[in-house]
């Protein structure tokens, strides 16, 4: 019928190009690309690279290897995301091999774009929130520093992975400033670090240092309720966010740097 967009010029049904996945409903695929883009937003590059390798070895959405990989994920939110990817893959492009998804992830990882604010939690992980565990994110933020680290915590105990990563940062020339609450003896947790680490305590007796912050250079900052303790980073029910926007992180870092200036009488170097 004239004007029917489902027909070609000769009256025969229009056929999509063979290389474009078509949903079983007859509309072009749209959900699967968005889900893959969300994975690129959520995961650091090394984790995306792992996914690229896994997808590259999978024949299709019903490959048992994919099911086993999803079941092995410790983060329920990530397992849920991968399950949704599998469902969209099966519905929209069931004949596409895993290498196609691998290539899509590689493409997404190679395109620089602003990363969104990322939610982090400690404690139980549900499938309703695509969050990551605080302990791993704290290490990742420290690892991303090239020139400076500014870390604040009310309490500190254990957290060996964090302490180890701070030590590695010092060895690669990163300046480290630790703002710690004196009344909790938090500085003892970092006694093994080199002398180049600067430890600061609050001056005066009005109030305490209660902030929790890990800021890498002026581009990334982890804010949340978790202290740098083993339980807070993994077992307690804690909540935080990672900021990747320099326009937000820079004034935050400047505020804490202002407190370290001797003329402002807020913090003292131990």
Q: Where are the domains of the chain?
A: 31-110, 118-269
Q: Output the pLDDT for position 77.
A: 79
C-alpha–C-alpha distance, residues 236 and 55, integer Å: 34
What is residue 190's predicted lDDT score, i.e. its pLDDT? 97
Say what the pLDDT of residue 141 is: 96
Q: Which fold has domain 118-269?
A: Endonuclease; Chain A (3.30.870)
Note down pLDDT in tens along the chain; length 270 residues. Answer: 444 444 444 444 444 443 434 334 334 447 999 899 888 877 777 888 999 999 999 999 999 999 999 999 877 778 889 999 999 999 999 999 999 999 999 988 887 666 778 899 999 888 777 778 899 999 999 999 999 999 999 999 999 999 999 999 999 999 999 999 999 999 999 999 999 999 999 998 788 999 999 999 999 999 999 999 999 999 999 999 999 989 999 999 999 999 999 999 999 999
Tokens at residue 185, please?
Answer: 């003896």
Residue 112: what pLDDT? Answer: 67
Spatial neighbors of 87 by CB under 8 A, at least 6 apart, are 61
Q: Residue 215's closest CA among 258, 263, 252? A: 252
CB atoms under 10 Å from CB of 129, counted, come to 14
Closest CA to 260 of 210, 206, 204, 200: 200
Q: What's the whole-model pTM score? A: 0.64
Backbone angles phi, psi at 206, to 5 degrees: -90, 105
pLDDT of res. 114: 64
3-class secondary structure per residue, the chain: CCCCCCECCCCCECCCCCCCCECCCCCECCHHHHHHHHHHHHCCHHHHHHHHHHHHCCCCCCCHHHHHHHHCCCCHHHHHHHHHHHHHHHHHCCCCCHHHHHHHHHHHHHCCCCCCCEEEEECCCCCCCCCEEHHHHHHHHHHCCCCEEEEEECCEECCHHHHHHHHHHHHCCCEEEEEECHHHCHHHHHCCCCCCCEEEEECCCCCCCCCCEEEECCCEEEEECCCEEHHHHHCCCEEEEEECCHHHHHHHHHHHHHHHCHHHCCEEEC
CA separation for the pair 81, 34 (Å, rounded) = 11
Distance CA 98, CA 54 (A): 8
Give pLDDT, residue 113: 63
């Amino acid at each position: 019928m004239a004007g029917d967009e489902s027909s070609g010029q000769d009256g025969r049904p229009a056929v999509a190009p063979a290389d474009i996945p078509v949903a079983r409903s007859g509309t072009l695929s749209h959900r699967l690309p968005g889900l893959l883009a969300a994975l690129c937003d959520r995961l650091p590059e090394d984790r995306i690279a792992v996914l690229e390798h896994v997808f590259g070895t999978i024949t299709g959405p019903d490959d048992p290897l994919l099911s086993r990989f999803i079941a092995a994920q410790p983060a329920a939110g990530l397992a849920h995301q991968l399950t949704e990817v599998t469902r969209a893959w099966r519905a929209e492009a069931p004949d596409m091999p895993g290498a196609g998804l691998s290539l899509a992830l590689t493409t997404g990882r190679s395109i620089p774009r602003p990363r969104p604010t990322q939610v982090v939690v400690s404690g139980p992980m549900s499938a309703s929130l695509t969050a990551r565990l605080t302990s791993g994110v704290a290490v990742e933020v420290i690892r991303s520093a090239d020139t400076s680290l500014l870390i604040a915590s009310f309490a500190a105990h254990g957290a060996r992975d964090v302490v180890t990563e701070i030590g590695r940062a010092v060895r690669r020339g990163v300046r480290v400033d630790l703002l710690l609450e004196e009344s909790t003896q938090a500085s003892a947790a970092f006694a093994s670090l080199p002398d180049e680490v600067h430890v600061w305590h609050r001056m005066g007796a009005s109030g305490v240092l209660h902030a929790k912050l890990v800021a890498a250079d002026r581009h990334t900052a982890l804010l949340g309720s978790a202290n740098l303790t083993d339980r807070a980073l993994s077992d307690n029910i804690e909540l935080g966010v990672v900021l990747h926007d320099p326009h937000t992180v820079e004034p935050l870092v400047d505020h804490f740097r202002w407190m370290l200036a001797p003329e402002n009488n807020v913090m003292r170097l131990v």
